[in-house]
Amino acid sequence: MAYADFHRRSLEDRDAFWAEQARLVDWHVPPARICDADQPPFVRWFAGGQTNLCHNAVDRHLAERADQPALIYVSTETQQERTYTFRELHHEVQRMAAVLQSLGVGRGDRVLVYMPMTAEATFAMLACARLGAIHSVVFGGFASVSLASRIEDFTPKAVVSADAGSRGGKVLAYKPLLDEAIRLSAHKPQAVLLVDRGLASMEKVAGRDHDWATLADRHAQAQVPCAWLDATDVSYTIYTSGTTGKPKGVQRDVGGYAVALAASMKHIFMGEAGGTFFSTSDIGWVVGHSYIVYGPLIAGMATIMYEGLPIRPDAGIWWSLVEKYKVTGMFSAPTAVRVLKKQDPAFLKKHDLSSLKALFLAGEPLDEPTARWISDGLGVPIIDNYWQTESGWPILTIANGVEKKASKFGSPGVPMYGYDVRLVHEGTGEELTEPGQKGVVVIEGPTPPGFMQTVWRDDARYVQTYWSSIPGRQVYSTFDWGIRDADGYFYILGRTDDVINVAGHRLGTREIEESISSHPNVAEVAVVGVADPLKGQVAMAFAVPKDASALTDDAARLKLEGEVMKLVDQQLGSVARPARVRFVTLLPKTRSGKLLRRAIQAVCEGRDAGDLTTIEDPAALQQIRDLVQR
């Protein structure tokens, strides 16, 4: 089928289309109604149906592939590697479910998971789904104040955590951070379940803290059936990164999410039962939920859960795993590819990657030089995709599982089935239909299955934040600028709130970054808007040069800065030219690979950079601080 027809049918014959997709999962009770959009912008998918995420991810595969690999756990931090078959995963999840039950957790209760990338973290998520408990995974190592605000908002009955995580050989103790968070929170969890990895000593609080190994032994042979949940029940919440003030918990359902993931694994990620999927994300981010844990398992695939860096012990570690486990689909981030781009290209040729069908990338815009480099190196399609914590699965990409279609470097692709994506004028709400017109990317309701239901415990905030920003229209705003070409491919230009207003001219930082990164001696760049008494704001650029001489030789640095300024002048005009281009050895990023632009901006303006718990290397921000102060 032509993809255009597939997409059109998903919008024009919505109930029939999604009823077909719903057959990709098991139902205890089939849905009575497919799409209930009677109270916009809220949507209830598969109302009247009953199912369970854990059943679809684990139990239903036991009949045909009980001894097939399901969860492949690899840690280059602790030198551990273990494969769990579907039968073994079923056993471990039941054991975890029984332990949580013994701590008082039941259907509708809440469990907060504050874990490193370990197999037990997957067991905990699936055990919650099995019991009908709502889980919320908070990125491991998150600061106490930020963790406390999430505990207070989510009010968990229990917390699952560990003694410590490890990153690049550096141990980060979780228990003191968790203890302090609970002390700060007005809500106190009844129980804390702790996995002792032997990385850091722990002091247990009597009556509250419990050892996983001890309780797991007691429930070694436990059998815990799946609770059949309404499709519209809550499966989990996840807090959006960069939240200021009161945390914003994205709430997801059970049935719609199961169907969305099953369909996406087939139509977008070309997953087939018996294959192996490798997502390099973290369970603290939405990609980890959708494409480390639930998606691949629902599809009957093995999933690799990796703890470690992409360049340790060497820059070939990911590719060695692709070869060893015959990975068929891989999902990563552009930033990770840029990290690998700085390494010896021989690592890409060292391993047999013939099993790999495609590399999918998401997280931030994919620049053309990076896309071409990894495409040439791997020799497989590089498929960019654009989505958000709120969407749960891709909004824009290429559905090669429906119809083979060419990717365009710089574009994540076209709207996915179920998504009615438009471009509108931010001031008037007028729809922009001509190719090349720049507008806000919005989605017309009803939103598809798997999309957020609402903000946890705050329907009014959901409507106000997401559905009320475009004048005269109730549409979901992505808060991203975009353009669309004549073929219908979208290009994302950056956040609407990352717009710089220079002397009355509105400029997207993304456009300036693209221009600077086209210079042959620029490896990476971040552009931020900095307050200026004359112009309101000016653009400030921080770049990592390919030739390190620009970092030590003043003449070379000034020459390169001049070349970059001239390039931007030529491509975008003098108004877009940065006030300064400063050169650094690395840029500050989160551990999931996102650039900390707001922190850079704060440092440039002499403000507090805020919570930097998730920063990969604090020295990166210190470099910028030193440059600015000089």
pLDDT of 488-511, one tens digit each? 999 998 777 667 777 666 677 887
> In angstroms, rounded to a whole number, what is the distance separating the alpha carbons of residues 167 and 616?
9
523 shares its domain with 595 = yes
Neighbouring residues of 205: CB distance < 8 A, sequence distance ≥ 6: 179, 192
Q: Check whether 128 has a pLDDT greater than 60.
A: yes
25 shares its domain with 162 = yes
536 shares its domain with 402 = no
According to DSSP, the residues that pair with 396 across neighbouring strands are 386, 415
Q: What is the pLDDT of residue 242?
A: 39
With beta carbons less than 8 A apart as the criterion, state whether 622 and 600 touch: no
Summary mean pLDDT of the chain: 93
Q: What is the pLDDT of residue 245?
A: 53
> In angstroms, rounded to a whole number, what is the distance separating the alpha carbons of residues 242 and 601?
14
Structural domain includes residue 331: no
- Picking from 478, 495, 516, the residue at the C-terminal end of a domain is 478
Name the pLDDT band for 464 (thresholds 50, 70, 90). Answer: very high
> In angstroms, rounded to a whole number, what is the distance separating the alpha carbons of residues 627 and 548?
16
Q: Check whether 392 has a pLDDT greater than 80.
A: yes
The three state secondary structure string of 19-83 is: HHHHCCCCCCECCCEEEECCCCCCCEEEECCEECHHHHHCHHHHHHHCCCEEEEEEECCCCEEEE
CATH of the domain at 616: 3.30.300.30
Q: What is the pLDDT of residue 143?
A: 80
Buried b (16+ CB within 10 A) or exposed e, 147-173: bbbbbebbebbbbbbbbbbbbeeeebb
34 shares its domain with 145 = yes
- E-strand ranges in 76-217 read 80-85, 110-114, 134-137, 158-162, 164-167, 170-173, 191-195, 209-211
410 shares its domain with 559 = no
Q: What is the pLDDT of residue 197?
A: 98
Domain that holds residue 208: 3-308+385-478
Say how many C-beta atoms besides its own lie within 10 A of residue 183's C-beta.
10
Q: Check whether 403 has a pLDDT greater than 50.
A: yes
Least confident residue range of 57-66, 197-206, 373-382? 373-382
Q: Check whether 318 has a pLDDT greater than 80.
A: yes
Structural domain includes residue 122: yes
Q: Check whether 441 has a pLDDT greater than 90.
A: yes
- The total domain count for the chain is 2
535 shares its domain with 422 = no
Name the pLDDT band for 309 (thresholds 50, 70, 90). Answer: very high
Q: What is the pLDDT of residue 598?
A: 83
Q: Check whether 569 has a pLDDT greater than 70.
A: yes
Percentage of the chain with pLDDT > 90?
Answer: 78
Cis ω for the linkage preceding 41 (within 30 of 0): yes
With beta carbons less than 8 A apart as the criterion, state whether 117 and 281 touch: no
With beta carbons less than 8 A apart as the criterion, state whether 249 and 239 touch: yes
Distances (CA, A) of 433 to 287, 423, 473, 484: 31, 7, 16, 8
Q: What's the DSSP call for residue 225?
A: P
Structural domain includes residue 53: yes
Structural domain includes residue 87: yes
Average pLDDT (273-283) is 96
432 shares its domain with 530 = no
Structural domain includes residue 426: yes
230 shares its domain with 135 = yes
Structural domain includes residue 492: no
167 shares its domain with 22 = yes
Structural domain includes residue 193: yes
> In angstroms, rounded to a whole number, what is the distance separating the alpha carbons of residues 356 and 323?
9
Percentage of the chain with pLDDT > 70?
Answer: 98
521 shares its domain with 619 = yes
Average pLDDT (122-145) is 93
40 shares its domain with 138 = yes
pTM of the model: 0.87
446 shares its domain with 541 = no
Least confident residue range of 2-11, 28-37, 335-344, 540-549? 335-344
With beta carbons less than 8 A apart as the criterion, state whether 35 and 15 touch: yes
Structural domain includes residue 185: yes
Average pLDDT (594-619) is 84
